[in-house]
Amino acid sequence: MSADQFTNFAITTLAGGGSGPGGALLPGDTTAVVVAGTGALFPATSAGTFRALLIAPGNLTEIVICTARTTDTFTLTRAQEGTTAPTSWPIGTTVLHNITAGNMTNLWNQVGLLGNNPLSYGAVGNNPAHDDTAGVNAALAVGTTVIPPGVTFYISAPLTMTVAGSELFGLGRGTSQIKQMATFSGAALITISADFCSVRDLTLLGSSSSSSGASVAATGITLAGARYCSLRNLEGYYLNGYLIEAAVTGTVTNQGAIIEDIHLLHCNGGIHVLSSAALNNIGQVWMSNLNLEIADGPLDAVLIEEANDIQISNYGGAAGQGSNTNSALHIKGSCASVTVLNPDIGVFPGPASAPTMLVESTVNGAPSRITVMGGVIQAGTYCVQATNGTNFLMSGVQFRAWTVIGLSLELAGAMYASIVGCEFSSASTTGSSGRYDLNIASSSARVTVANCIFRDTIGTGAGQVNASLNTAGGRVYLLGNDFEGATLANAFQGGVLPGLLVNNANINPAGSVSVTVGASPYSVPTKPYPVTYYISGGTVTSLAVGGVTLTGITSGPIRVPPQTAFTITHSGAPTVVGFGD
């Protein structure tokens, strides 16, 4: 089907028929000539055809299709849309380009080629008193279905997508809508149980127009054992549930789902991804461009549960407002390989009543290989609280405006983490204890903190922390960080130093190191930073660094690397003075 072409205000008169200028247009003629210079008023035919009306006094009218136009000469298909060609059209007959019923039929057919229209299956639309569920489901049962622009369908039961590869789509968010009726009964407005399906360009509305809690409890869209589906360019308002749930059903996962360009406002929750150990925790869900503006709670804005291989990019969201204890991002249970890129999450300006990002275990296990790169995490009780889990990478993240701790890694056992290029700032409440930029609870932790900036000053007032770092010891290595508001004397809670402390602004150099040499062989206490020891006097038999004897050296400056044994063997104790880098 060629595309209909249009211009505005195209009207002229007939100058000739098939015999050329000056002759009438006869019934068998397929070319017509209009007044010189007026052909340009009509559409070009390089991309399709256009329709014209021949009009004469006495209501005599013929509709023709122009299949080609060369300057002022038209090639015609005559007698269209139930009209007839008269004996002849004389010179001076009006030639008018206008929209006809045929144009509109073509347009509707072209829309119909994209999908079934529920209006053709009994749905009415735009009538809150009419239940459109049956009509929309009848269209979906055939396959791909389109929600026309400017139409809201009201439903009392779930819409079901059971045809593999089918689509349910509109002509744009805010113009094509599905609204839950107050009599709605069911778990979700839309349930997808077939593979390779798509929902896009729609708005989903709860039954209330003022509060998610006042709407009938239901999820917006549920993937129920549907693999490789895509949910794109969607928004949800006032849903009393998650906007999107990808939860396992029986023995079938929802792997391969793509969720992107999602906007949420005042729904109880945002997106929930759930797998299970019985299905090897298969997740494989990719999410991007999420604007989960306000998740009212108690559900989380994003909850990843027992699911591996999840990627979230360009996510902005807020939760935990007022007394709500939901989180903007919640990673729970036996999850592995969860990557978050460029988030901007947390209530602004805050404070919130829950961690902005919460990582925790279930009876099935604890999360691992959690990566957050770039962006801002702000304004929770904690920016990030990991009560369990391991193998964390936090890179280029700004942690700000928390009320308790910026980043808290609380696993009691062995735990691995790298915190690189992050910024800690703007702690927002007063308190005499338990307020830190960074908390590492495990004495078995292996954590590297490098090239970070700790902006908060030390104290008990607003905008201060009690210490930059609270650590139980372990292999916590601080390299090349900038402690703008702290010193070696107050940066570390209880004076417990990390395992390595090198090239940190305002912390290094550590300064003088006092040594009182005891009985031989004497092991000098190790330090987390390099120390140069100056040895004089006494009777020194040998010196050893890291278990290696320094042959022929019994005095003078000795440089000892961090956390390295330094042993002095003597028959008379020397004087030792150290300087820490």
| pLDDT tens figures, 424-461 | 998 877 888 999 999 998 888 899 999 999 999 999 98
- Mean pLDDT to the nearest integer, 527-537: 96
The enclosing domain of 216 has a CATH number of 2.160.20
pLDDT value at residue 111: 59
Does any domain span residue 242?
yes
- pLDDT of amino acid 114: 65
Q: Does residue 321 register a pLDDT over 60?
A: yes
Q: Which amino acid is at 315?
A: Y
**The pLDDT of residue 253:** 87
- If we measure between CA atoms, which residue out of 546, 575, 574 comes closest to residue 562? 546
> Residue 413 pLDDT > 80, yes or no?
no
* Residue 294: pLDDT band with limits 50, 70, 90: confident
Answer yes or no: is 115 within a domain: no
Q: Which domain holds residue 515?
A: 511-580
Q: Is the pLDDT of residue 387 over 60?
A: yes
Q: Count the domains in the chain.
A: 4
| pLDDT given for residue 541 in this prediction | 96
Buried/exposed code over 180-217 (b: 16+ C-beta within 10 A; e: otherwise) = bbeebebebbbbbbbeebbbbbbbbbbbbeeebeebbe
If asked whether residues 47 and 89 sit together in one domain, one would say: yes
Q: Residue 518: which pLDDT band, with cuts at 50, 70 and 90? A: very high
Q: Is residue 350 part of a domain?
A: yes
370 lies in a domain?
A: yes
Domain assignment of residue 114, yes or no = no
Q: Does residue 113 lie within any of the structural domains? A: no
List the one residue out of 189, 249, 256, 197 whose CA is nearest residue 225: 249
Do 59 and 134 fall within a single domain? no
C-alpha 138/C-alpha 161 separation (Å) is 10
Q: Please identify, among 317, 340, 368, the residue that sits at the C-terminal boundary of a domain.
A: 317
Quote the percentage of the chain above a pLDDT of 90. Answer: 79
Q: Name the least confident of 14-18, 19-23, 295-299, 394-398.
A: 295-299
pLDDT confidence bin for 54, thresholds 50/70/90: confident
Q: Are residues 497 and 520 in the same domain?
A: no
Choosing from 256, 286, 317, the residue where a domain stops is: 317
106-120: pLDDT as tens digits: 776 565 556 789 998
Mean of per-residue pLDDT scores for the chain: 92
Residues 101 and 202 both lie in one domain: no
> What's the rounded mean pLDDT across residues 58-86?
92
| Judgement on whether residues 460 and 519 belong to the same structural domain of the protein | no
Average pLDDT of the residues in 3-29:
94
Residues 211, 304: one domain?
yes
Q: Is 537 among the domain residues?
A: yes
Q: Is the pLDDT of residue 320 over 70?
A: no
The CATH number of whichever domain residue 557 belongs to comes to 2.60.120.10
Considering only 100-104, 188-192, 398-402, which range has the smallest mean pLDDT?
A: 100-104
Instruction: Mark whether 348 and 379 lie in a shared domain.
Output: yes
Which of 444, 479, 507 is a domain's end point?
Answer: 507
Q: Classify 213 as helix, strand or coil.
A: helix
User: Within this chain, do residues 131 and 102 fall inside the same structural domain, yes or no?
Assistant: no
Q: Is the dihedral of CA 425, 431, 432, 434 positive or negative?
A: negative
What is the reported pLDDT for 536?
A: 95
Residues 423 and 313 in one domain: no
H helices then E strands: how many in the chain? 2, 52
Q: Are residues 348 and 497 in the same domain?
A: yes
Between residues 518 and 282, the one the model is more confident about: 518
Q: Per-residue pLDDT for 30 more than 60? A: yes
Identify whether 368 is part of a domain: yes
Q: CA-CA-CA-CA torsion for 288, 292, 293, 296, nearest 10 degrees?
A: -170
Averaged pLDDT for residues 308-335 = 88
Q: How far is CA 99 from CA 2, 41, 50, 514, in A?
A: 16, 15, 9, 95
Both tokens assigned to 465: 């922390």
Residues 487, 492, 493, CA angle at the centre, nearest 5°?
135
251 and 131 belong to one structural domain: yes
Q: Rounded to two decimals, what is the model's pTM?
A: 0.82
Instruction: Quote the tokens at residue 526.
Output: 């190790």
Instruction: Say whether both 517 and 424 belong to one domain.
Output: no
